[in-house]
Chain A
């Protein structure tokens, strides 16, 4: 029987948005793993980590409260699952704050009422990688592999928010292993000593403070190259975007010649599970992952 979840896809996953390729590959991956994602109808933006200038605490928490309330109504028995790091973080943080503070609970209750909603706040809010690690397991992932990604050396860039502050499956913040384990589960070679595994890419500040952020992105790429990586894998839309699409700009600024593909874990799995290049969203790579293209075409 398939495992079902109440799914919060988030803004960047929408058609024509920056991580629409992530959702494409997640869908293929979930089909193969018999995971059913029931999208929360009429979900809204979570305000990510950069909405704070315009929105105070209560408006921001209310945004997530609305999504939780809709999920409770539509999929009462299912955990909420997000694929985006910021969506997961904002929703889980909101849920916790409503539990911890009477003032926030009352405030969001009144705000939700204006939208004709109410919430019990009894749901687990989880990230897709938690589903893979805790509910599916690496052995079951390996079982589904039809085309092992043999010979590929991959740097697992976990980044920030799919790690801190909540952690994945009780792992350490400084050196989590889950992404490396996924790489191994699909038959590729993880670089477990990747020094920049949990470093920050600048997040949303790549837009507002590009120069400061490029100084953070460069060592993330450099360390992957120095460790002999064929590509970088990440669980986060902002990490993916920042480390992939600015490589030209970083080369311009530092006189480097980075041209390393950055893919999602779901892309790796879709290819390894035998899905087509299109299902795996390989056409969404600004820097083509040629080695994955070759495996998908086999």
Chain B
């Protein structure tokens, strides 16, 4: 268990709902869920959730901290917003799922092999490096995210796809050296650093 995770678990002992309200994006809205199940029935990835959003909301209230945060459920969200559009109590379910995923990541509780967790981190690293996504590098890092051997296999299997994208100029080899970037990189990085600090400080403070 990471130190921060330990500290927060101790601080909120017996009240995971309060922990979610204080620390998870739009977590206060969890209290509004009336357990109707429309979100669970509306999710395109429905069959693949270990616990549906409806269940997760009840598990939060039932204090199932580890079961929720270490679950790979939230990582099934495709951000289709069907649940948000249909929720009769207007819970921002998509945002809460992203928030729970981020929080689990911060506390180092995400299942190690969760592919979307890995890809989402690669995406973030890619975009923050120069302020704009470098699709070529993102694609390559995705193929190789499970090691070199599997990467070569995946790259071979997707060779035709890559060629199609190159042929239609929807992928560019020269993105490998250089590539698109914001001009004010230092201002951009300073801004992100500050935002990350403010957020971390607030969660650190809640752990004490």
Residues of A at the B interface (CB closer than 8 Å) are 11-12, 14-21, 42-45, 47-59, 61-63, 66, 107-108, 110-117, 160-161, 164-165, 173, 199-200, 202-205, 207-209, 212-213, 216, 245-246, 248-249, 283-286
Contacts and interface: CB of A to CB of B under 8 A. Distances in A.
Contact of B191 (A66, A164, A284): A66
Given A21-B169, A42-B183, A164-B84, 10 more contacts: A11-B127, A12-B133, A16-B170, A17-B172, A42-B182, A48-B123, A52-B101, A54-B125, A56-B195, A56-B196
Contacts of A61: 195
Contacts of A50: 79, 116, 119-120, 123
B3 interface: no
B45 interface: yes
Interface of chain B: mostly helix, strand, loop or mixed: helix
A285 B168 CA distance: 7
A11 B132 contact: yes
A214 to B, nearest CB: 12
Interface residues of B, number: 66
Interface in B79-102: 79-82, 84-86, 94, 98-99, 101-102
Interface of B: 25, 44-45, 48, 76, 78-82, 84-86, 94, 98-99, 101-102, 105-106, 115-121, 123-125, 127-128, 131-133, 135-136, 142, 160-161, 164-165, 167-172, 174-175, 180, 182-184, 187-188, 190-196, 198-200
B168 A21 contact: yes
A108 B195 CA distance: 7
A203 B79 contact: yes
Given A42-B182, A164-B85, A208-B116, A200 B78 contact: yes
Contacts of B84: 164-165
Q: Chain A: interface secondary structure? A: loop
8 contacts: A50-B123, A51-B124, A52-B99, A53-B101, A160-B79, A165-B85, A204-B79, A245-B165
Nearest to B98: A52
Contact of B44 (A14, A112, A216): A216
B135 A11 contact: yes
A203 B98 CA distance: 14
Given A111-B192, A112-B191, A160-B79, A57 B99 contact: yes
Contacts of A111: 191-192, 194-195, 198
